Amino acid sequence: MMVKRGKAGDGCLRVVMTGGGSGGHITPLLAVSHELRQMVPDAELTYIGQKGDSLGDIPAQEPSIDRVYAVRAGKLRRYHGEGLRQLLDIPTVAKNFRDVFYVVAGIFQSWRLLRKLRPDVVFIKGGFVGVPVGLAAAWLHIPFVTHDSDALPGLANRIIARWAGMHAVGLPKEIYKYPADKTVTVGVPISRHYRPLDAAGQLAVRRELGLQDYKQIVLVTGGGLGAQRLNEAILAASRTLLADYPGLAIVHLAGRRLEEGLRQQYAAQLLPEQLQRVQVKGFINNLYDYSAAADVVVTRAGGTSMAEFAAQAKACVVVPNPLLTGGHQLKNAQVLADRNAVVLVDESRLARQPDSLGRPLKQLLDAPERRAMLGKALSGLAQPDAAKRLAMLLLEQAKYTPAGKQ
């Protein structure tokens, strides 16, 4: 447990928030916690994460979160397109069997925590930690709200769906299979720092980051955990890109576990002058600054990431992860590509031609009007007030009215 502020007095609003496993679950949760803190300054906000989560330390750094706990949670390992082969993989089957016991332990841990915390409402963003927390909340008759950023709801939220008070979703509610009367479209909550900037604003951010001397910047991000295939593809294309564009810099967010290995690979492949124009980082808390500074963003197709870049009207090259359960990134990316809002690259193409990201990047670097068109199309999907709308929904479920609005 980590306590940041004194416990609020009796009668205050108490909210428990849970989610994890990826930055796409944690960053929206933090955006909602910030909005709740603005609406109800004396609220007691608690985060429950999953033991062993590699990004579990991030909520503890958020000023609006009062305290942090962790419980056991399991994971059902399924890979899109793998079919029956994954059922014959002994290590995968063994881990799934072990995690059944983790879920049971997590339910009892969550039950004890919720009895102690006595929250008025629970917010479940996604990730498998939501299963034990959601089931414990249902057991104790505590209302909870789920949120799905992607076009396809995550398995954890589907498991606990029948007991949810409301389902908040990022896309039009008609595409989800939740009950219509319990589903509301709020958008995807993102940090207030994601906003469009003009040329002067972009230059100011570049100065803050020490990137003002570069003519063009490409940002590469595979999410908080990184993306090995994406890292390899950019690495393969980097030498030619840096040679063809002498004023180009590449900022590569590799993921915490992949950072050092990728840095060594760049050092082995690039000329000394080129290496000076590459920054490799693991996980950063100010992604919004680096994306604001970038001319082009290379990214996966998670719902949260795309909402963030939409708010900044960024030109994006999107490489969806084809193995994630249900192919939800594939569906996200196709929706955006059909609206001419992103450049879509199939990961299977990268497997055959590791340097194939170079061509679409060159096309965008050479065409500022094309970048502007993509950014405008993507920004049309942005819902910058999503965090506030979701915070209001939580207050409604908690039957709480902020002071001055009675």
- Give the CATH number, domain containing residue 77: 3.40.50.2000
The answer on 168 and 300 residing in a single domain is: no
Residues 225 and 167 in one domain: no
Q: Which two tokens stand for residue 336?
A: 């955006």
Amino acid (1-letter code) at residue 367:
A
How many CA atoms within 13 Å lie on the side-chain side of 33? Answer: 30
Judge if 24 and 154 occupy the same domain.
yes
Q: Let me know whether 278 and 211 are in one domain.
A: yes
85 compared with 274, residue with greater pLDDT: 274
Among the listed residues 321, 116, 365, the one whose alpha carbon sits nearest the alpha carbon of residue 233: 321
Q: Would you say 133 and 18 are in contact if contact means Cβ atoms under 8 Å apart?
A: yes
Two tokens, residue 71:
């419980």
* 136, 257: one domain: no
Domain of 290, in residue numbers: 199-379
Whether residues 173 and 208 share a domain: the answer is: no
365 and 327, same domain (yes or no): yes
DSSP label of 182: G
d(Cα 382, Cα 190) in Å, to the nearest integer?
A: 10
User: CA 203 to CA 292: how far, in whole Å?
Assistant: 9
- Which residues, in sequence order, are CB contacts of 247 under 8 Å at separation 6+? 214, 215, 216
For residues 347 and 211, state if they share a domain: yes
Classify residue 242: in a domain, yes or no: yes
Q: Is residue 406 part of a domain?
A: no
Q: What total number of domains does the chain contain? A: 2
User: Which burial class, exposed, middle or buried, applies to 84 when counting CB atoms under 10 A from its CB (0-12, 13-18, 19+)?
Assistant: exposed
pLDDT at 89: 62
pTM: 0.82
Per-residue model confidence (pLDDT) at position 101: 83
Residue 404 lies in a domain: no
Q: Is residue 405 part of a domain?
A: no
pLDDT value, residue 4: 47
For residues 254 and 271, what is the distance between their CA atoms, to the nearest angstrom?
20
Q: Is residue 368 part of a domain?
A: yes
Q: What is the pLDDT of residues 345-371, one digit of tens each?
A: 998 888 788 778 999 999 999 999 999
Q: pLDDT > 90: what percent of the chain?
A: 68
User: Are residue 122 and residue 244 in the same domain, yes or no?
Assistant: no
Q: What is the pLDDT of residues 175-197, one digit of tens each?
A: 899 999 999 999 999 999 999 99
Per-residue pLDDT at 57 exceeds 70:
yes
In this predicted structure, the answer to whether residue 3 has a pLDDT above a threshold of 50 is no
Is position 152 within any domain? yes
| Residue 83, amino acid | G
Mean pLDDT of 117-128: 95
Please tell me the predicted confidence (pLDDT) of residue 355.
76
Is pLDDT above 50 for 8?
A: no
Task: Determine, yes or no, domain membership for 194.
Answer: no
267 and 156 in a single domain? The answer is no
Q: Do residue 371 and residue 389 come from a single domain?
A: no
Say yes or no: 375 and 388 in one domain.
no
